[in-house]
Amino acid sequence: MEFERASGLIMHPTSLPGRFGIGDLGKAAYRFADFLGDAEQSLWQVMPLGPTGYGDSPYQALSSFAGNPLLISLEQMQIHGMLPKEAIEAPPQFPDSRVNYGAVIGYKIPILKQAFRFFREHGSRELKLDFEKFCERYGWWLDDFALYMALKESHGGAPWFEWEWKLASRNPDALDKARKSLRDEVETHKFIQFVFFRQWYFLKSYLHQKGIRVIGDIPIYVAYDSCDAWTHPEILKLDEHLRPTVVAGVPPDLYSETGQLWGNPVYRWDVLAETGYKWWIDRFKMALELVDIVRLDHFRGFEAYWEVPAGEPTAVNGRWVKGPGRDFFEAVFGKLGDIPIIVEDLGFMTPEVDALRDEFRLPGMKVLQFAFGGDPGNAYLPHNYVRNCVVYTSTHDSDTARGWFEETASQEARDHLLRYIGCANPAEIHWEMIRLAWRSVAVMALAQTQDVLGLDNSGRMNVPGSLGGNWSWRMLPGALNEALAARLAEMTELYGRVPGTELHY
């Protein structure tokens, strides 16, 4: 797909301010949309919107299709008659700058369950009809997900592969019995999903009115403890006991002597191919109901992926295995048309990966922090870009722009950057990197909101391979203001990234 020259910001909804301990789809999200509009931005990139499990990572969701209940705005529910006012009058004193997931879950989930009971007794006829329509429309994944969540709760949060065998292996009689005994719990989880999707679609409609499109991630792998793995074990490399035989990761490189052991089960691509990749096509369909542009994570894994025998302590003893390649993308585009996809093609690339990306005209990623300290032929330097790429000042997996420059970049890289941009004063290096991205030929330019705010690495979202403290950064109330919007708008106009700008290539 040919994209229009544009720019935008990265901000996961959990990072928005608010009084309930975590960002949500309420008024702060609409204020952020207003800021994007005032700043002439036309893109909002988010991370996966699915329900998170152990570790709180959006990339290890409990479902590839469901929404995250923690993103639901309790205030919006109260406004729309789904909660009594007193239910949210006195929330705990949550921290403003970080998400304490344990505390948020302990407070919010019981209120969402209370909301279902309130809805069942006091909900309007129109709202109940909408709920029925939602359940009917999305029953193809919702029925399994709601049962999975009800069973997970009834087992004290244990992963599905630790349940009794009849439930873990989806014995039909055992599932029927569970549906009957857990009927109220199943309906509760369906209702929670109804509220999430309702709020998200309202927000997405508001964004579209402002000419703003949403970019959202599809992680290549699913979590082992997920409804996806429980309902579709046949598409994963699991043994007769439903345990992974191999797991995903990446091999050792300059950044890690032992590689990265992700632990996700690996696909049986031959089984998926026999179905015409139906599960993946359904996944794309659902993603494109939520977002306007898909960012496909770990693109190189579709050409060849690193699999490690289950039980290995590191990713060292793995091997490269050929992925589905062009057959997969021909099937996806053949079924869905020329859908809007950008790809995460960072890390160890090969000519075969580049050829696969270019054959289907998929824009790849350029991260400015990878550009400096080397030779002029570095592919991440803006003078080497092709138009069909997306440039980032930083990503959720990297330092912030300022944090990189001040804390982790080598002296050689810092000197190179300053010479490259002709800047002797690094006091606002984050704005200089935004300018460098915005004025490049890349069709899309994106900055983390932390970079617009000039935050150091205290604003970093994730440190790959580390446990604890990730995914928790929150923007303080009032951090974005008219002056920042005006500065970003001026730069966006200057470099022709306002939608509708006539360009001649």
Catalytic residue among 34, 297, 352, 456: 297
Judging by beta carbons within 10 Å of its beta carbon (0-12, 13-18, 19+), is residue 419 exposed, middle or buried? exposed
Nearest residue to 492 (alpha-carbon basis) of 11, 45, 44, 38: 38
Cα gap 63→16, rounded to integer Å:
23
Catalytic residue among 330, 397, 406, 456: 397
Instruction: Pull the structure tokens for residue 283.
Output: 């996944």
Calculate Rg over the CA atoms of the chain: 23
Instruction: Pull the structure tokens for residue 308.
Output: 């490690």
Query: Distance of CA 250 to CAs 1, 136, 149, 215, 253, Å?
Result: 29, 40, 31, 25, 9
- The strand order across the sheet containing 364-367 reads 341-343, 293-296, 213-218, 43-46, 6-10, 444-448, 389-392, 364-367
Cα gap 385→442, rounded to integer Å:
7
Is 327 catalytic? The answer is no
Is 297 catalytic? The answer is yes
Q: Where are the alpha helices (DSSP H) in 84-182?
A: 101-122, 125-137, 139-154, 165-168, 172-181
Kindly give, in sequence order, each residue whose CB lies less than 8 Å from that of residue 394, ignoring residues fewer than 6 positions away: 367, 368, 369, 400, 401, 404, 447, 448, 450, 451
Cα gap 43→25, rounded to integer Å:
17
Cα gap 156→245, rounded to integer Å:
26
Q: Where are the alpha helices (DSSP H) in 301-448?
A: 326-336, 351-359, 401-403, 411-421, 429-438
Catalytic residue among 56, 344, 399, 451: 344
The SS3 call for residue 386 is coil
Instruction: Pull the structure tokens for residue 115.
Output: 């909301």
Cα gap 40→353, rounded to integer Å:
34
* Backbone torsions φ then ψ of 444, nearest 5 degrees: -130, 145
| Residue pair 492/498 in contact by the 8 Å Cβ criterion | yes
Judging by beta carbons within 10 Å of its beta carbon (0-12, 13-18, 19+), is residue 466 exposed, middle or buried? exposed
**Residue positions annotated with a catalytic role:** 297, 344, 397
